[in-house]
Chain A
Amino acid sequence: MVGGRIASVERGRSMMPAMKSTLDYSLWAVVLALAALFICAGAAKLGDPLEFADTIAGFGILPAALINLLALALPMFELGCGLVLLVPRTTRIGALAVALISVVFFSALLSALLRGLVLDCGCFGNGAPSRPRMWLELGLDAMVFSGALFVYRRLFRSDGNARPAL
């Protein structure tokens, strides 16, 4: 076990600086993209919580007692995720939050698609209900999950906070 750890450290030391720098840049590119996506998504939903509550109700998953609470909290949570991602000390928590919420979004969309519903997911404010768009947004959720998982694993392994190597 100890030998394995030493080997891992050695591998890390012997990693070529250019490769490490590329990884740092790609990590920060993903972090910035996720943060921008979540800040935009949260801000777009803040304007009309009633409309967003109707969108959530359209999924037919939550009881009436939880719909408005989610309509009020989710835009703030998305904004919060974006901001937490941007702060180096909390990027890892932000990445985990984004990964978890994208699983929730993915499950809700997939369940609506499997039930034959035609909805506007309300992901970025209000739009026209469309099944092709729902599939696209399902793909986007999968990409967001992959990106967030990449960031989380990377920061988890590096045992620390995200700091850009600029």
Chain B
Amino acid sequence: MSFAPRIANSHPEPPSRANRIAHRVALDLGGVLLVALISLAAGLSINRFSARPLPLVYKTPEQRFDAELTSLVTAPPLALPPSPTIGLPEFRAAVQAKSALIFDARPAQFFTQGHVPGALNLARDNFAYDYRQLSSILKPANDKPIIVYCSGGVCHDSRLVANALLTLGFTDVSVFTGGWEAWSAAGLPVSKGAVR
């Protein structure tokens, strides 16, 4: 009843059926992996030479919009086309008549300390966020006059924001060149607080 003689007399066993199947499936999986790697390489190569290549890391539509908005207000000031400008008397008349949307392009902390009555903070340094916050006011005001100001003197924030608004499709945008300095020096009314 011993098994030993039978084993000794038998022919060498061919690879088992399970082994052969596993070997072939492994080879096929290798082929699939090769197709996947070639596809990845082809996709990356096409993207590299594409007119609008995708970045390697995904950005949500909101992140892309923010980046686009931010890029609008980061252009070098000298490269900007000149925006229409207005002086203090016209600006004062527009503020009193409430005939235009007034935007303060200074950083939020300066806006909170004091701003032109009725002005909204559309800060150059936080443009994407402020623009989205103000979109409910801005969207219906496509053709309404818009006046932007900043500190005054040599500040470029109002020009950058005005130019960004023009690029975004607003048609009647001008810059009050005297800015906050001219307004406060004239002893005109001032509002305080973080009104947006």
Residues of A within 8 A of B (CB): 1, 49-50, 53-54, 57, 64-65, 67-69, 71-77, 79-81, 84, 90, 92-94, 96-97, 100, 152, 156
Contacts and interface: CB of A to CB of B under 8 A. Distances in A.
B194 interface: no
A54 B124 CA distance: 29
A100 B28 CA distance: 12
A57 to B, nearest CB: 6
Interface string B23-62: 0100011011001101110111011001010111111110
Interface SS of chain A: helix
A67 B47 CA distance: 14
B57 A64 contact: yes
Interface of B: 17, 21, 24, 28-29, 31-32, 35-36, 38-40, 42-44, 46-47, 50, 52, 54-61
Contacts, number: 80
A54 B44 CA distance: 18
Nearest to A49: B54
Contacts of B24: 156
Nearest to A66: B58
A73 B39 CA distance: 5
Contacts of A97: 31-32, 35-36
Nearest to B59: A64
Contacts of A54: 61
A90 to B, nearest CB: 7
Nearest to B32: A97
A63 B57 CA distance: 9
A68 B35 contact: no
A72 B36 CA distance: 11
Contact of A100 (B32, B42, B61): B32
A53 B50 CA distance: 16
10 contacts: A50-B52, A53-B54, A68-B55, A69-B56, A72-B46, A73-B44, A75-B43, A84-B35, A93-B32, A152-B28
A94 B17 CA distance: 23
B12 to A, nearest CB: 14
Contacts of A64: 57-59
Contacts of A77: 35-36, 39-40
A69 B55 contact: no
